[in-house]
Structure 1
Amino acid sequence: MQVGYAFGMTWPQVMLNASFPFCFQRFFQKVSDIFYLAGIITFGMQRLRLTLLVLLTMVFTTCGQPNHETLFTEINSVLNTHGSLSAIIARNTLEEAILAVMLKVEETKQRAKDHTIVDPKITLAFEEADSMASTLNVPALSIWTNTQIGFYYYSMSYLQEAFPYFLKSSQAMSSTAPATLIAPSDCYTKNGYFFGNIGDHLHAITYLNQALLLADSSAFAQLHFAIGGEYSALEEYDKAEEHYLTAKELAEDIDPVRYAKVLGELAFLAMRSADFPSAEALLLEDIHLSRLHHADRNLMFAQIRLAHLYVDTQQWEAAQALLGEAEAYTRNKANLSGFYAEVLQLKLAVAHALHDTVAQLELYPKLQEVQNRLKNTDGENAVMKVNLALQRSKAERDALVHATKLQRSKMNVFVLTGTCLLLLVMAILLFRSKKQALKLQHVKFERSLFRFQLDKMKSEKKYESAQQTIQAYLTFLKERNTAIAELKGVVADLSRSNSADAVERKERLEQLLDEHLMTEENWQRFKTTFIKEYGSFYAKITAMLPHLTESQLRIVLLQKLGLNNHGMANLLGVGQESIKKAKQRLRKRYGDQYDQVFVEV
């Protein structure tokens, strides 16, 4: 059974989406509505829904859903040969509706083929197709439709818009046999591309390997190339090279553009090993083949990568020549904004090396504009938001799948022990209530944890992007203190429980709490900024309080900024008593000199 009920569906709706036959669905809906109203008055809503579910299960267990195998075989044959879906003859109204949805999606994809920005008309057409597919209750169709729509947004670099569609398709694929899918290799491949792009590389490798099992041999080079990219992202470079070499061998005589792309990735591995001559030779061949076969996008990518090599090896003029052409290609294409930003960054590096102040002044505002635009599409912030949403969705789905499996187990027992119907229903209700409470508690905890992590990242990012001043650092410390205090409160609440879950959650929060403390890197950055703004005070310290340890110096500098013992204790990860004793030792060692150092003359 699918887990749709946890997303706001009623038990009757779950049944309509489960294993019951198409011929009984309308009948089931009518009966469920009648029993639902009666249950509110007599047995209670939840009890009656479960009773009705069990009774209907016993009636319809021997029936199945409509079989679309013949239709899907014809569809897959047409898609594999790039034929027209309009040539397929439907056998009933449901098949007509399935083909209508697919034709609408294919026609919309064709209209959007050469677009570089999201078109509202295209978006509306896809939304209509998605709405049509969702009403038909055909999982394979929904998977295919969501994958195609998601891939449209992905190709436009709108990751947040693509995410809901790929999330729905991936969740449905996890409970659907590959052989029953529409264009299974295409669906697995596109899901693999998306999840790899947002950083879920293991998930991507699983999908791409599944696609490799289902694909035609003509797609083997493409898939090995993609799998190599995922292993490279995981820094498993030996496995990455193995797949790249396989793709190179497969593509050499049949797909020169793919062959060129493989050369570019092998060049990246050579650059990692500081084998710059080999990397340069590979990239030059990549550029030659891409230009020869009019693969403009790959040409741009190879030029940028070779420009990186030239910048690393200080060949400034060579880098400039490549970047000029790459900039011309990426400048006015919204879906290539990330590459355009990379080109501008490289040009800035070259201008800085050549002391070209005019070029730097011209490039800085352009880069800032592009980076601001990327924040809402495929930039680092967007990827981070999508990845956090994915992790949250996984946690919720794991809990839902676990609850669903338990329900199935209880239902099977219920069917076999019909004489104990009433007692078993009551037991299941109590069990479900407890599980639901635990599940909600778990989800709430996971969401809180994600929020703490996200707030920490935002605070660090805001400080890194702000002007490095003591005032900025004070704001940063204030936010850290607030987060630490909140985390300590949650840890204190969990400490009152000895359950395994509470202990595990407490350990995770304590780990996060440790990450909020002042690290050595933060301390050195703070110390540098302090000396810059309070140089005279720092000189005064070294003169009046000689031979201070680093830990003592931290207390002195934080006291100068007005932090109390509580604030210092939070940031340094010690108790307030430790701060008090440290100050007492300082007064004992330096006498009046310690207090006088804070007196402004």
Structure 2
Amino acid sequence: MAYIIKRTGILFAVFIFTFLSKSYSQTLTIPLQDSRENIERIILQEKDFQKDSVQLKKFLAPLLQSSSKKYNILYYALLANGYSSFFDKTNSLSDTYYLLSIQKAKDINDPSLIIWAEMNYSKYLYYYREIDKLIPTLLKTIDATESINPNKMILPGETFKFFGWIMTTIDDEDLAVKFLKKSLHYTKTNSPEYASVLNAIGVYYFKEKNFPAAMYYFDKTIAVSLPISDNIRYAKALGDKALIYEKKGDYKTALELLQKDIDYSEKYKDEKNSMYASILMAKILLKEQDTSRANALLQKAEKIALSKPYYNNSLKDIIELKLNILNGKDPEKELSLRRELKKIEESLLKTDGETALTRANWFVQKAKYENRVKNTQLQYEHESKMKNIYILLVILAILLSIFIFFSFKKRLKNNSLEYNKKIIDHKIEKRNYEKKLNDANLDLDAHIKFLHNKNIQISKLKLELENIKQSPSYHLEKGKLQELLDSHLMTDENWNTFKREFKKEYNVFYEALMKDFPELKDSNLKIIMLQKLRFTNSEIASLLGITLDAVKKSKQRLKKKLGDKHNLLFEIIDMS
């Protein structure tokens, strides 16, 4: 029998050793690439080894052994978290490793890691209520997030949620809800983190006395928490809903919800939440004059509050409620409680007491004011710079306008000189041909040559007019060219001279026209006589100063006017 017991003991010891070896043989799995996504995966593998710092270092060792500087930074930050859990208070080891992680992140100039490392350190300071140290670090971290795309941050949802919590603690509600709602955008839905943010937004609306909105967010917290078995978050939401019913005067519902909160917190071993819910329930019971139940809850809450130095704020509430219950009934005990209360209040002045939080809030508001002043100064400098730029642009525009004006004026002058030269050349050429016509004794052949030359001159002048359309001095130049062009057209004087010479050469043809077609007018005769001399419709139009369509329409009207005699007319024209 003794042998069996001994053997069983040995087997049990081996089993325990094997189990513990397997439990503590866990090491961190790290990917080869140190991308932002992989860094987040590593952080989410973090474990709480509580009082076993040897296994903590063993677990994190792959990060330190890695050639990646980013992974080395994670090692120091996560090691600092481990020592925080080990000592369960602020300690020199955690302080050293947090600051080392921040410095190394700055050394490699990685904004996302700098923000995460500083936020990680801020969480530690917040948890242990080192408010005076926390606020400067926190404000610097918040400022850094303004200059980075949240999608490039490490766990942005968690970071913005933490900012929201801090601002809620120091009563900067506007900033709190801004960060919390921003956190929702970067937090996975149907997750404990999402439920946590919903609950925090509900608390914001409760503080704002917007109870319908607060109830909405607490109910949403419950709806998210239950399916994912986030029992503690569910319990907290019940406790927060109880506060709304208390404000409405429905103490019965409030007490029922707080009792459920306590039951869940105790079942799932969350002492902190159990303590908070017990204090809240005791406050309502005192309003109901149920001092016995209230006292029992306070005794249980006090035991938890005394276990951690950072629960002093809750311990202060408990003592104040106890004094309320005593109400002068036991002066000796009451004196002892007041002495204890004074010590706690002195301690809280440096941590999370009213004075410390007020000072923190003042610090935040001061930073916000300085930031506004800085932004105003930057805006002023920007506006001043822009004003100088505008003045410079105006001066440049004026100088450019002056340059363009004188260039334009010079160009106009050159164009005018060139234009006048062309006009003179055309006039000389016209005069030369007119002289040749006079020297040729004004016979019909000379007239025909003269008319053909006119057509050439008219074409040139029309081309000149077309070319100067884009000229800035078009309206000035057009007048003289048009005048010269008009002088080439068949005037009454030219017509009479031409008709006289035509009658000499084609007397029979002319007499036949007058006899057989007495209805013909001078306008008809001009076209008929020019056609007889084999001028084209286009040439006729140029000489008479009318359009080609006008010549064609004139012929059509003549055809209609002459009727059957029209064919006879053109037979006569075509005869040699």
TM range (shorter): 0.5 to 0.7
1: distance between equivalents of 2:389 and 2:106? 31
Query: In 2, are the aligned partners of 1:75 and 1:88 still within 8 Å (CA)?
Result: no
Aligned to 1:234: 208
2:266 corresponds in structure 1 to: 291
TM-score (norm 1): 0.54
Equivalent residues in 2 for 1:414-433 (5 A)? none
Partner of 1:202: 174
Partner of 2:199: 225
SS of 2:276's partner is helix
Q: Please give the alpha-carbon distance, in whole angstroms, between the structure 1 residues aligned to 2:92 and 2:79.
A: 15
- Is 1:315 aligned to 2:315, yes or no? no
How far off its partner does 1:399 sit?
Answer: 2.1
Q: Supply the distance in 1 between the matched residues of 2:96 and 2:378 (Cα, whole angstroms).
A: 35
Quote how far apart the aligned CAs of 1:180 are: 1.1
Provide the alpha-carbon RMSD of the alignment: 2.9
- The answer to whether the 8 Å contact 2:80/2:93 transfers is no
Q: Is the 8 A contact 1:208 1:223 kept in 2?
A: yes
Indicate the larger mover: 239-248 or 358-367: 358-367
CA distance in 1, matches of 2:392, 2:107: 35
Q: Name the CA shift for 1:312/1:142 in 2 (closer, same or farther; >3 Å).
A: same
For residue 71 of structure 1, the aligned residue among 14, 32, 35 is 35
Structure 1 position 81, deviation (Å): 5.5
**Match of residue 380 from structure 1:** 354
Deviation digits for residues 182-239 of structure 1 (CA, Å, limit 9, x no counterpart): 1111111111111111111111111111111111221221110011111212222221
The answer for the alignment partner of 1:246 in structure 2 is 220
What's the offset of the Cα at 1:115?
3.9
- Please name the residue that 1:134 is paired with: 106
Report SS of the residue matched to 2:318: helix
**Structure with max Cα Rg:** 2
AA aligned to 1:393 is A
Structure 1 residues 413 and 184: alpha-carbon distance in aligned structure 2, compared to 1, 3 A threshold: farther
Which residue of the partner structure matches residue 76 of structure 2? Answer: 104
Q: Secondary structure at the match of 2:363?
A: helix
Q: Which residue of 2 aligns with 1:187?
A: 159
Say whether the 8 Å CA contact 1:192–1:204 is kept in structure 2. Answer: yes
Tell me the CA shift for residue 166 of structure 1: 0.9
Cα gap change, 1:283 to 1:371, in 2 (>3 Å): same
Alpha carbons of structure 1 residues 385 and 137: separation in structure 2 relative to 1, 3 Å: same
- Measured in 2, the distance between the counterparts of 1:414 and 1:90 equals 57
AA in 2 matched with 1:166: L
Are the counterparts in 2 of residues 160 and 377 from structure 1 also a CA contact under 8 Å? yes
Paired AA for residue 171 in structure 1 = D
Deviation at 1:146, TM superposition (A): 1.2
Query: Which digits, 9 at most, give the CA deviation of each residue in 1:408-430, with x for residues without a partner?
Result: 6777999999999xxxxxxxxxx
The answer as to whether partners of 1:327 and 1:340 remain within 8 angstroms in 2 is yes
Aligned to 1:568: none
Question: Cα deviation per residue 1:269-322 (whole Å; 9 max; x = unaligned)?
Answer: 111111011011111111111111111111111111100011111111111111
1:152 to partner: Cα distance: 0.4
C-alpha distance in 2, partners of 1:82/1:374?
Answer: 31
CA contact 1:74–1:88 (8 Å) conserved in 2 = no
State the partner residue of 1:216: 188
User: 1:394 maps to what in 2?
Assistant: 368
Deviations 1:528-583 (A, max 9, x none): xxxxxxxxxxxxxxxxxxxxxxxxxxxxxxxxxxxxxxxxxxxxxxxxxxxxxxxx
CA distance in 1, matches of 2:108, 2:389: 30
**Stretch of structure 1 that moved more, 80-89 or 134-143:** 80-89
Matches within 5 A, 1:33-44: none
Which residue is 1:12 aligned to? none
Counterparts in 2 of 1:378 and 1:411: CA distance versus 1, 3 Å: same
Give the letter for the 1:209 counterpart: K
- State how 1:405-554 maps to structure 2 within 5 Å: 405=379
Partner residue in 1 for 2:563: none
Structure 2 residue runs without a partner (length 5+): 1-32, 48-58, 395-576
Tell me how far 1:352 sits from its aligned partner.
1.2
Alignment of 1:13-32 (within 5 A): none
- Paired with 2:63 and 2:300, the residues of 1 have a C-alpha distance of 46
Which of 281, 294, 317 aligns to 1:306? It is 281
What CA distance in whole angstroms lies between the structure 1 residues aligned with 2:188 and 2:277? 28
Whole-Å separation in 1 of the counterparts to 2:123 and 2:79: 15
Q: 1:548-567 maps to which residues of 2 (within 5 A)?
A: none
Change in Cα spacing, 1:232 to 1:115, as seen in structure 2 (3 Å) is: farther
Q: Distance in 2 between matches of 1:404 and 1:136?
A: 29
If asked which structure has higher relative contact order (CA below 8 Å, sep 6+), I would say 1
Cα displacement (A) at 1:135:
3.1
Distance 1:360 1:383 in 2: 28
Q: Contact conserved, 1:143 with 1:168, CA < 8 A, in 2?
A: no
Q: Is contact 2:235–2:260 with CA below 8 Å preserved after alignment? A: yes
Paired residue type of 2:39: I
Do the aligned partners of residues 396 and 151 (structure 1) sit closer, same or farther apart at CA in structure 2, a change above 3 Å counting?
Answer: same
2:241 equivalent in structure 1 = 266
Q: Secondary structure at the match of 1:182?
A: coil
Give the direction of change, closer, same or farther, for the CA distance of 1:121–1:114 in structure 2 (3 Å limit). Answer: closer
Partner of 1:255: 230
- Matches of 2:64 and 2:348, distance apart in 1: 45
Cα contact 2:64–2:75 (8 A) shared by 1: no
CA distance in 1, matches of 2:392, 2:112: 35
Q: Distance in 2 between matches of 1:299 and 1:402?
A: 48
Residue 78 of structure 1 aligns to a residue in which SS? helix
> Residue 204 of structure 1: SS of its match in structure 2?
helix
**Does residue 135 of structure 2 align to residue 163 of structure 1?**
yes
Which residue of structure 1 aligns with residue 343 of structure 2? Answer: 369
How far apart are residue 127 of structure 1 and its match? 2.2
Cα offset, 1:174, TM superposition: 1.7
Q: 1:327 to 1:210 in 2, by over 3 A?
A: same
State whether residues 78 and 85 of structure 1, in contact with CA within 8 Å, keep that contact through their aligned partners in structure 2.
no
Inter-CA distance 115–302: structure 2 relative to 1 (3 Å threshold): farther
Unmatched 5+ stretches in structure 1 = 1-68, 421-601
Deviations 1:416-446 (A, max 9, x none): 99999xxxxxxxxxxxxxxxxxxxxxxxxxx
Number of aligned residue pairs: 349
Equivalent residue of 2:154, what SS? coil
C-alpha contact 2:80 2:95 (8 A) present in aligned 1: no
Paired position in structure 1 for 2:402? none
TM-score w.r.t. length of structure 2 = 0.56
What's the % identity of the aligned pairs? 22
On the 8 A contact 1:228/1:240 being kept in 2, the answer is yes
**1:455-492 superposed Cα distances (whole Å, 9 cap, x missing partner):** xxxxxxxxxxxxxxxxxxxxxxxxxxxxxxxxxxxxxx
- The one-letter amino acid of 1:153's match is L
Q: Is the 8 A contact 2:79 2:94 kept in 1?
A: no
Partner in structure 1 of residue 85 of structure 2:
113
SS of residue in 2 equivalent to 1:113: helix
Matched residue type, 2:40: N
Deviation string, structure 1 residues 361-386 (Cα, Å, up to 9, x no partner): 22111111111110111101101111
CA–CA distance in 2 between the matches of 1:120 and 1:82? 21
Moved more, 121-130 or 182-191: 121-130
